Structure 1
């Protein structure tokens, strides 16, 4: 991920990202059957800060793609659609509180802060289940999802994966982290 505080892409990055997003969009029409790329691109071009966030999703291995359109808000919805949890976002605990509570063997970062820095949100359990209707994701990995406050207040956090033809929702201590667990994000443009 970019370490720059400037949330703008160079013209080369901008053009390259649009090409990647268009190719992914056209290759995976099942994710957005009634949508047209020209409309998505126009929306992206009008929201440069969202392109920066999409680039962060892309550069960390998320392979963002359009999964829907909210007519009421006139927004396209992007999710990380990488087959496994994004490689550049694994081995992280759930949030800052969990990270600070670890006395030994702290991970380098946490899912909530990373998502905020990227300008995205963690998928909810409902969004995760919707994603799984578009393909099979996280068959070898797992992904943190937004955790209800009552679970988080007790020190836990939830994550999901896809095994045996089903979405499974599990719990763990929010301070846990594993090489095969990352997080998936969403972005509205």
Structure 2
């Protein structure tokens, strides 16, 4: 099965399902500080009941996001996964913000954009609030940066926003949405 076939089908083989579940289980056990009061068996049951979500988590892993459970929404009964890699996921860097930005570039276009990639993966790009919550669990993006969801008023003016962690603080910056850098990608979240 090719990469484009896998994205189109959004199905994992039995072996791939077992492999991603085992990887997530180990990561969950090794990082209890991200989900102190949660139990893996309940997470696994939700994942097994939602194979398309497992596919999305596999895509997060395949692009070096190292997804893990970071919260539980009691009201909705959903586990929230997030990319927990120390730096912005390697497989999602060097992308501009969205399709409009990509199409506006006359030359030196990146291969993709963050919004379309996230949509194809079945995940949401982090909001500023989610990014700050992740930083409370552990500091990430000390050398890289990550696009975050940009308010429409900023985007209408041609900009997009991104964050990183420097000097013990989260910084929020702006750039033209068409810009892209080898050290900037995006982090995603997924509700299961």
TM-score (norm 1): 0.99
1:41-77 deviation per Cα after TM superposition (whole angstroms, max 9, x unaligned): 0000000000000000000000000000001101000
> Quick one: which of 166, 178, 181 aligns to 1:163?
166
Q: Does 1:23 align with 2:11?
A: no
CA RMSD of aligned residues (A): 0.8
Q: How many residues align?
A: 189
Q: Does 1:88 align with 2:91?
A: yes
Give the C-alpha shift of residue 139 in structure 1.
0.2
Give the secondary structure class of the aligned counterpart of 1:79. Answer: strand
Counterpart of 1:38 in structure 2 is: 41
Give the C-alpha shift of residue 8 in structure 1.
0.5
1:82-118 deviation per Cα after TM superposition (whole angstroms, max 9, x unaligned): 0000000000000000000000100000000000000
> Quick one: which of 97, 109, 112 aligns to 2:112?
109
User: Whose helix proportion is higher, 1 or 2?
Assistant: 2
Counterpart of 2:100 in structure 1 is: 97
Partners of 2:142 and 2:78 lie apart in 1 by: 29
Give the secondary structure class of the aligned counterpart of 1:109. Answer: coil
Partners of 1:50 and 1:128 lie apart in 2 by: 21
Partners of 1:19 and 1:2 lie apart in 2 by: 22
Give the C-alpha shift of residue 3 in structure 1.
1.9
> Quick one: which of 180, 184, 189 aligns to 1:181?
184
Q: Which residues of structure 1 form unaligned runs of 5+?
A: none
> Quick one: which of 119, 139, 148 aligns to 1:136?
139
Counterpart of 2:60 in structure 1 is: 57
Moved beyond 6 Å, runs of 4+:
none
Partners of 2:167 and 2:19 lie apart in 1 by: 37
